[in-house]
Chains A and B, each alone.
Chain A
């Protein structure tokens, strides 16, 4: 039995039926990691003994009769932005190298409680700022479809791990597209839940009004199962939504779009997309129509300004959030030789501990918030945010979901955009509107362009996460029939 090729739901069933154990499944994945991660570099931290101890404990709890739910014993990889009490947490930064958090994030704690076994921590752009993992202080991860290309970012270690069969499930965070974009370019499923639907407690903050934890998986149902387990109100996060978790698993099983109204965002149909991506998107829209959806074009005139607004709002919030890295209580401290002041030590530490992109964003945010520029930049960006929300509201009066390509291009070569920030930022062109407004949005594979995966983005109203899953599952089912299997089966062997 090739355990690493199986999905999370199937593994959960096999473990529940006693046909395999959490320990066997964990061992198979650890072996896979040992075999391929030298090339993929998805993980920053793997600790075989800790993982196997967790798996043994799950097997013991199950044997003792505990009902742990459908994912008991299924392994998972966590983006290194979630604090974990038994593993280091770095957020991809030198400033946190070797840090051992004294507490668990809500997401990781809830998943532990339901018997998911942690395989390790995955690579990411430093403090989740980037679209390629090239901003990681520990070097880039590689796309399993073509190791010379990026796996997307910022949650690129998590997407690469799932696409390379090193883990059936992983977590990420999505601030401007950091789950959907890496899912799209590695040919897997990635979901940004409604803002506040998943807890930010224990997630190292980048831009607090945008940061949203979410799942990666190789199919829509697995993503929904994971989504359901870690979601729901959390008193430890003051922006957590106190509402029932949308019925995402039911929607993923339903997988039909008959009679559903699907809006194609006029501003994103073709704008900036390379020809192969535009072609796969057009085919996906035709497919939805053939499955019984009613497709209409919808205008969202302010979506074209969302990227600019985002690159003022997110750096502004980051410049404030990252002030906590002050070299005093935890993390790196540089230059404390007894002669320098605290302020000098702070400035030296931050200059050495932060990478170039983090410095750019801190300074950009400081600029946008400074008196004299506040109204022209941050203030205007906040008004654009209101206008993007109104565009969504108007659109959802006419349609049930909106669709666009997930990203303008397929995976780009490592090194291509690393010193061209604006080119890198464009990777988030289509994903950012849903972050500004808190909407749910998912990326599902919709084909290949020049041998590389393309993603379809489905955007749903706030707390309408189930609709995104329903449409994604319908697309997945139809395309897997056409391809006689998942898109990922077409990836080259590692």
Chain B
């Protein structure tokens, strides 16, 4: 039995905002199935009552002083924008035409 279906891979591509063609999805489905089947080894470890670690070191949240510091100018911030207008990033429409 495969660990992941072609439909699931197609759904993952949508969630990941990757517009993939059918060939690419087929290829990825086979590879992801192989990888997931292999890494599923983690489930062999008896881990009842073992706390999860999200991080390597026991660090606590760090706050900085709320001080005014130099920052990028609008020109610097926009310098690499694909499109800019009136000191703003210009983006494609984010709402449906009808909205």
Q: Which residues of A contact B (CB under 8 A)?
A: 99-100, 102-103, 195-196, 209-210, 235, 238-239, 241, 302, 305, 308-309, 311-312, 319, 323, 326-333, 336, 338, 340-348, 350-351, 354, 359-360, 362-364, 366-367, 370, 376-377, 379-387, 389, 421-422, 425, 435-438, 462
Contacts and interface: CB of A to CB of B under 8 A. Distances in A.
B28 A359 contact: yes
Interface string B1-29: 00010001100111111111000100010
Contacts of A196: 56-57, 59
B54 A209 contact: yes
A344 B19 contact: yes
A223 B43 CA distance: 39
Could you tell me the dominant secondary structure of chain B's interface residues? loop
B89 A329 contact: yes
B47 interface: yes
Contacts of A367: 4, 8, 12, 32, 36
B52 A382 contact: yes
A380 B94 contact: no
Contact of A302 (B45, B57, B79, B89): B45
Interface of B: 4, 8-9, 12-20, 24, 28, 31-32, 34-36, 38-45, 47, 50-57, 59, 61-62, 64, 72, 76-77, 79-83, 89, 91-94, 96
B45 A363 contact: no
Given A344-B19, A366-B12, A380 B47 contact: yes
Contact of A354 (B18, B52, B96): B18
B64 A341 contact: no
7 residue pairs, one from A and one from B, having the closest CB atoms: A438-B56, A382-B52, A333-B82, A330-B80, A347-B19, A383-B47, A385-B53
Contact of B42 (A329, A332, A377, A437): A377
Given A328-B82, A421-B31, A308 B39 contact: yes
